[in-house]
Structure 1
Amino acid sequence: MYLQLIASALALGLFLGMLLCVEIGRRMGLAQLRKEPGMPKGFGASESAIFALLGLILAFSFSGAATRFEDHRHLVAEEANAIGTAYLRLDLLPSSAQIALKSQFKHYVDVRILSYSRNEDPIATQQAHAQTAALQQQIWQSATASYALADARANLDLILPDALNAMFDITTTRAVALENHPPFIVFLLLPLLALVSALLVGFDMSNNKHRRWLHIISFAAVMSLTVYVIIDLEYPRLGLIRINPADQVLIDLRSSM
């Protein structure tokens, strides 16, 4: 909710700022025309460079945000697969060792689902991550304790090195992925280039007798909306566009246990 408000405020601010920059640019152009009739020549190259840079930053920012959004969804599926594989391998253990571990696995999946379903509450999220770490330790201890069973040693070699490690490691991968964003300077450069571009658009329009509101508003609206979508995609657990439906694979896994 907070991210939506912040992103909406930034997009609205950029929209109004671009309209203002168009008007400032237009008045600068009119002042230039009064001093020197006829639009000055030789600025096409610099304008083209700025607009090209704006398009490049927009393309990379949008493409990167969309790629990271898809990566987050794939990581949810990878975690579900890792947990499911480890859970199935518990059947290789003697019955006496399976009961406690299967119960811990079910609780573990419940906690993993809650870890990201309440991401807007940082305290609840921290508690869920702490529970995850504690449960991982308990599962590891229960699994290693099963080494006392002579007939389980060979089968445990299949569970401990691969399945449990993969199940635990993916939690770190997912946590790091959520913090993986472009440098702040990129987020700062994008609206700055949009404002400069709006200034140049207004300057170029000063030769017209009337303002072309359709073009002005469309330009500012499309740019602002694009920046909003980029920010929204960068935070897939907090914005309007979310990957929460991807958690269904974990819910289905929990139902199958």
Structure 2
Amino acid sequence: MGAANLISSMPSWALFALLVIIGVLATQVGFWMGRRRHQTEIKESTAHISTAVSAILGLLSFMLGFTFSTTSSRFAERKGLVISQANAIGTSYLRAGLLPDKQKITIRKLYAEYTDLLLKMPEATDIKPLFDRRDHIHMLIWEQAISLEKEKDFPPAIISLFITSVNQIFDLTEERNTVALVFRIPDALWRALFLLNAMSMFAFGYQKGINGNHKSFGFPILPIAYAIVIVLIADMDSTSFRRFKVSQQPLINLQKMIRMSTP
């Protein structure tokens, strides 16, 4: 299991607790080593250490900001794709009303099931059967589209419009799958964030120890602050639909429209 899958499979509270524990332990170890160093006769330049600690904390903040920005942009794209997908299905559903009754009835029933299926996915624990059924519905709709070629007296322009709308649905479905399930934070970046976070907390504790400071209020606060940001990033990046849910309201509105128009 990769780092991304491991992190996304953890409950938010468990990931937060793990990060705080790692951060506090790293801070305490750094503080202990700094105190030992302070008690020896070898003295280090506190200004030089402060500069190094500021640099590593700044690097961690930059990495977290970059990762958060990337993940939030992807989350916004996921929301936009839901709107686009709902619009594409609605357009194709309405265009199906122009088709011969034989295809129109079958296709509209498939779109009704398809919309219900999409609304079940965010709450499903086992999503693979839903994906399989969705792909099967794609094939059934396409078979109906192909059968329109046999309608010799039917206007080709309407058939072309309908097929274009079907292709758009297929393209948006694949795009939504890719953005939601494939375009995620790489494992290497997660490992770097965890390592850099631990190093930063260690450096912070070492600075306190080398200066001869006693344990202060900032010891647990800094690890908690960084842990909150990392958990937010993990939640937005997670493939688990239980976190940072994308609103399905466009699909809900589409479902209402389909039910109202279906006899």
Q: After TM superposition, is the score higher than 0.5?
A: yes
Check 1:92–1:238 CA distance in 2 against 1; reply closer, same or farther (3 A cut): closer
Is 2:176 the counterpart of 1:171? no
| Aligned-CA RMSD value | 2.0
1:82 alignment partner in structure 2: 88
1:14 alignment partner in structure 2: 19
The AA in structure 2 aligned to 1:252 is N
1:228 alignment partner in structure 2: 231
Is 2:135 the counterpart of 1:133? yes
Check 1:190–1:182 CA distance in 2 against 1; reply closer, same or farther (3 A cut): same
The AA in structure 2 aligned to 1:56 is F
| Contact preservation (8 Å) 2:8, 2:239 | no
TM-score for both structures, normalised by structure 2: 0.86
The AA in structure 2 aligned to 1:24 is V
1:183 alignment partner in structure 2: 186
Q: Report how far residue 5 of structure 1 moved.
A: 4.1
Separation in structure 2 between the aligned mates of residue 5 and residue 186 of structure 1, nearest angstrom = 18
The AA in structure 2 aligned to 1:66 is S
Separation in structure 2 between the aligned mates of residue 27 and residue 205 of structure 1, nearest angstrom = 9
Check 1:10–1:96 CA distance in 2 against 1; reply closer, same or farther (3 A cut): closer
Separation in structure 2 between the aligned mates of residue 241 and residue 112 of structure 1, nearest angstrom = 17
1:156 alignment partner in structure 2: 159
Cα deviations by residue, 1:188-218 (Å, 9 ceiling, x for unpaired): 1112111111111111112244211x21111
Q: Report how far residue 115 of structure 1 moved.
A: 2.9
1:40 alignment partner in structure 2: 45
1:254 alignment partner in structure 2: 255
Separation in structure 2 between the aligned mates of residue 236 and residue 130 of structure 1, nearest angstrom = 18
Check 1:24–1:173 CA distance in 2 against 1; reply closer, same or farther (3 A cut): same
Separation in structure 1 between the aligned mates of residue 25 and residue 8 of structure 2, nearest angstrom = 25
Check 1:157–1:241 CA distance in 2 against 1; reply closer, same or farther (3 A cut): closer
2:29 to 24, 31, 35: 24
Separation in structure 2 between the aligned mates of residue 223 and residue 29 of structure 1, nearest angstrom = 22
The AA in structure 1 aligned to 2:146 is T
Q: Report how far residue 40 of structure 1 moved.
A: 2.7
Please list, as runs of the form range in 1=range in 2, the aligned pairs for 1:110-149 lying within 5 A after superposition: 110-118=116-124, 121-122=125-126, 125-149=127-151
Separation in structure 2 between the aligned mates of residue 116 and residue 9 of structure 1, nearest angstrom = 22
| Contact preservation (8 Å) 2:68, 2:233 | yes
Separation in structure 1 between the aligned mates of residue 69 and residue 228 of structure 2, nearest angstrom = 15
Cα deviations by residue, 1:2-31 (Å, 9 ceiling, x for unpaired): 957444323212211211121211121111
Separation in structure 2 between the aligned mates of residue 44 and residue 95 of structure 1, nearest angstrom = 77
| Contact preservation (8 Å) 1:113, 1:251 | yes
Q: Report how far residue 256 of structure 1 moved.
A: 0.4
Cα deviations by residue, 1:192-246 (Å, 9 ceiling, x for unpaired): 111111111111112244211x211110111111111110010264343222xx2
Q: Report how far residue 81 of structure 1 moved.
A: 0.8
Cα deviations by residue, 1:112-138 (Å, 9 ceiling, x for unpaired): 2223331xx23xx11111111111111
Deviates more, 1:72-81 or 1:47-56: 47-56
Matched length: 248
TM-score for both structures, normalised by structure 1: 0.88
The AA in structure 1 aligned to 2:201 is A
1:193 alignment partner in structure 2: 196
1:217 alignment partner in structure 2: 220
User: Residue 45 of structure 2: SS of its match in structure 1?
Assistant: coil
